[in-house]
Amino acid sequence: MDLQTTIYLMVGLSFSLYIGIAIWARAGSTSEFYSAGGSVHPVMNGMATGADWMSAASFISMAGLIANMGYGGGLFLMGWTGGYVLLAMLLAPYLRKFGKFTVPQFIGDRFYSKGAAIVAVICLLTASLTYIIGQMTGVGVAFSRFLGVSSEVGIYVGMGIVFLYAVFGGMKGITYTQVAQYVVLILAYTVPAVFISLQLTDTFLPQIGLGGTYSGTDMSLLAKLDSVVIDLGFGKYTTTTAGSPLNMFMYTLSLMIGTAGLPHVIMRFFTVPTVKDARSSAGWALVFIAILYTTAPAVAAMAKLNLHSTVNTAVAKGGDLYAPEASIVAETRPDWMKRWEKTGLLKFEDKNGDGRIQYYNDKTKDDAAKAKADAAGWKGNELTVNADIIVLANPEIALLPNWVIGLVAAGGLAAALSTAAGLLMAISSAVSHDLIKNVFVPSISEKKELLAGKVAMAVAIVVAGWLGLNPPGFAAGTVALAFGIAASSLFPAIMMGIFSKKMNKEGAMAGMLSGLAVTLFYVFAHKGIFFIKGTDFLPLIGGANPFFGITPEAFGAVGAMVNFTVAFIVFKMTPEPPEHIQHMVEAVRIPRGSKLVGGSH
């Protein structure tokens, strides 16, 4: 069976599975639509949480970012996994014990204010819509390469698939679909990694292979990779950092507390029967997430080495990387390169007209490496590789069987669609439940509320698709920015709502609005007041990263500090919460709570 047919078969089977589950698990009540009836088994909820949380950024982009950044890319591993531990230990059990469906409802009830709920909805919509751009972009990337269609058509197809199982199934349909998507995506991620680890290190487990010996040599895999990238003028793979130590710390912190504040992940803990089950499902989710996250560094390093070995043939032979014959002839470049060139994510330009592909570092400060490159007729780097293709192209680079490539295609789409569905569920519930039901039309019937939820979901899908088709100028950093928004707005409010019985509604609202505003201002001000794709504005705030060298993607941690500070200043100047609210907060924090808690609304 040829490659394209295999891909169509694997992706088609996975889509059929998702649609079939959605039909079987369609929601018939608001409780099933918002929280799957609170009856999901902890292990299954752990798998669904893993799929919901491991987005296109985790599956498609993370290993590529680590491959490009080297050691500095570890901040994504530390930030995202550390944030999940923070969520599981400090927030999830208490929120589940509170017994509400959504984050805005918790904030509205805890801070005894519909105004606080509305502010929380604004923060939620801002973070979720920003995050969903990355998921739709991931869908477009996977479709454009594997199904031979444009990214625009891919996004339309993805919208249709999500519509079928999210609108009709609600949280119940999404939950059981995400269980299937987790199985698909984890197999798609680990199977190629096992194959490639055996190829490069003769070790079955990629986690061990990463620290193992490179096949045919007495060098470790990482030492071999270091020697290759240094010789090509790139920074040392095992020591390169992401900017200054302060920026790396703030970036990691922003991702960590942003993860803990993501509403679509928090909602997953309302789908289990008890607080004890919420703790259990959090533990299972961490296990399921760790399988991918411990594999990602190996995938990144091995894919980078394979890529260099393909382009610079002397890598595998141990020869001079700058010799005229060290690079491959452009006309005979592998088929996988030609296929990815069609997507625009891999580009080749023969700058010196020698018919070969020279892949050296344009920005190298190593005089010796630059002199060698110049002597080899180098006129600038001739190959551009987008980080998003590293995982998806990895099995093709390693010449793995067609069925593995097809499995990776299905896995990439599963990762993007599972998170997109979770985000759409958070958006839908914020509109139909937190705004319509709890603020504007409290007397709405359950049937009409369910209908409103489905309509809100459908509208959210259309908006998400439009954002994917017409991404704003800041789309390249949307995933990290979404975490920054959640970190600066929702996380502090949730933390203070649980652990500070004295925090009042005025402080919470002022904190959320100030944290969100300062973060968005810092991001937008880097290019100007407006983000228009293709338009280059001068920064408004005195150059790039003016605040102690902190990048926009890392600024969410600063926004969170602003949130906490403003909240406590305003709290000191305004009345304390009512006594019954303070008693309620104390009751939520009491350790006992493994009894059944209803998801009342």
301-324 pLDDT, tens digit each: 999 999 888 888 888 777 777 777
Q: Which fold does the domain 3-305+397-589 belong to in CATH?
A: Sodium/glucose cotransporter (1.20.1730)
Task: Tell which residue, 594, 436, 491, has the closest CA to residue 34.
Answer: 436
Looking up tokens 């180098």 gives: 378
Average pLDDT of the chain to the nearest whole number: 84
Question: For residues 396 and 333, is the Cβ–Cβ distance under 8 A?
Answer: no
Burial class for 135, CB neighbours closer than 10 Å (0-12, 13-18, 19+): buried
The mean pLDDT value for 336-346 works out to 83
CB atoms within 10 A of CB 537: 15
Taking the model in full, what pTM does it have?
0.84
Radius of gyration of the chain from its Cα atoms, rounded to whole angstroms: 25
Structure confidence at residue 469 as a pLDDT band (50, 70, 90): confident
Structure confidence at residue 135 as a pLDDT band (50, 70, 90): confident
d(CA 155, CA 164): 14
Q: Is the pLDDT of residue 474 over 70?
A: no
The mean pLDDT value for 459-482 works out to 73
One-letter amino acid of 34:
Y
Structure confidence at residue 532 as a pLDDT band (50, 70, 90): very low
d(CA 68, CA 384): 12
| More confident position, 537 or 98 | 98
Domain ranges of the chain: 3-305+397-589, 306-387
pLDDT, position 530: 43
CB atoms within 10 A of CB 533: 10
Q: 346 pairs with which residues across the strands?
A: 385
Sign of CA dihedral 44, 491, 479, 530: positive
The mean pLDDT value for 152-173 works out to 80
Q: Could you report the per-residue pLDDT of 363-407, keeping only the tens digit for each?
A: 666 777 777 777 777 787 888 888 878 888 889 988 899 999 999
Least confident of 263-267, 532-536, 551-555: 532-536
pLDDT, position 577: 95
Q: Is the pLDDT of residue 537 over 50?
A: no
The mean pLDDT value for 470-495 works out to 79
pLDDT, position 544: 65
d(CA 331, CA 340): 15
Question: For residues 292 and 189, is the Cβ–Cβ distance under 8 A?
Answer: yes
| pLDDT > 70 in the chain, percent | 93
CA distances from 521 to 22, 472, 529, 530 (A): 41, 16, 9, 11
pLDDT, position 496: 95
For residues 487-522, b (16+ Cβ closer than 10 Å) or e, as one string?
A: bbbbbbbbbbbbebbebbbbbbbbbbbbbbebbbeb
d(CA 309, CA 437): 59
| More confident position, 531 or 552 | 552
3-state secondary structure 99-158: CCCCHHHHHHHHCCCHHHHHHHHHHHHHHHHHHHHHHHHHHHHHHHHHCCCCHHHHHHHH
Region of 401 (left: φ > 0; alpha: ψ -120 to 50; beta: rest) is beta
Q: How many residues are given for the chain?
A: 601
CA terminus-to-terminus distance, the chain: 53
d(CA 348, CA 529): 35
The mean pLDDT value for 102-109 works out to 91
Tokens describing residue 546 = 């003016």
Helix (H) or strand (E) holding 346: strand 346-348
pLDDT, position 472: 59
Half-sphere exposure of 478 (CA within 13 A, CB side): 26
Give, as one character, the DSSP assignment of residue 408.
H
3-state secondary structure 16-43: HHHHHHHHHCCCCCHHHHHHHHHCCCHH
pLDDT, position 475: 43
Cβ partners under 8 Å of residue 415, min gap 6: 51, 54, 55, 56, 58, 59, 60, 138, 181, 185
Chain centroid to Cα 123, Å, comes to: 18
The mean pLDDT value for 18-41 works out to 79
CA distances from 258 to 253, 487, 566 (A): 8, 4, 19
The mean pLDDT value for 351-358 works out to 85
Give, as one character, the DSSP assignment of residue 330.
G
pLDDT, position 146: 74
Q: Is the pLDDT of residue 592 over 70?
A: no
d(CA 117, CA 111): 8
Helix/strand number for the chain, H first, E second: 26, 2
Q: Is the pLDDT of residue 123 over 60?
A: yes
Q: Is the pLDDT of residue 435 over 70?
A: yes
d(CA 519, CA 537): 19
Burial class for 72, CB neighbours closer than 10 Å (0-12, 13-18, 19+): buried
Least confident of 67-71, 73-77, 185-189, 537-541: 537-541
d(CA 312, CA 308): 5
Q: Could you report the per-residue pLDDT of 87-99, keeping only the tens digit for each?
A: 888 888 888 888 7
pLDDT, position 179: 92
